[in-house]
Amino acid sequence: MEIHRQQCQQCGSRNARNILVREADAPMTIYVRCLGCGELVARYQLSHYYHHGKGIESFLRSLGSDAGESGRDYLAEFQRTQDQAVRGYEDALRKLQEQGNDV
Ligand SMILES: [Zn+2]
Question: Residue 61 C-alpha to ligand 1 middle, in angstroms?
Answer: 32
68 pLDDT band (50/70/90 cuts)? low
Question: Residue 33 C-alpha to ligand 1 middle, in angstroms?
Answer: 8
Do 55 and 100 lie in one domain? The reply is: yes
Question: Residue 84 C-alpha to ligand 1 middle, in angstroms?
Answer: 31
Are the C-beta atoms of residues 56 and 74 closer than 8 Å to each other? yes
Residues 83, 88: Cα–Cα separation, whole Å: 8
Do 56 and 81 lie in one domain? The reply is: yes
Do 27 and 59 lie in one domain? The reply is: no
- The pTM for the full model equals 0.69
Question: Rounded to whole angstroms, what are the CA distances from 90 to 23, 57, 83, 98, 103?
Answer: 30, 24, 11, 12, 11
Q: What is the DSSP letter of 17?
A: E
Selected residue with higher pLDDT from 53 and 23 = 53
Residue-level pLDDT at 73: 86
Total domains in the chain come to: 2
43 pLDDT band (50/70/90 cuts)? very high
Question: Residue 99 C-alpha to ligand 1 middle, in angstroms?
Answer: 23
Do 57 and 27 lie in one domain? The reply is: no
Do 12 and 28 lie in one domain? The reply is: yes
Return residues with CB closer than 5 A to ligand 1 (ion).
8, 10-11, 13, 34, 36-37, 39
Do 24 and 9 lie in one domain? The reply is: yes
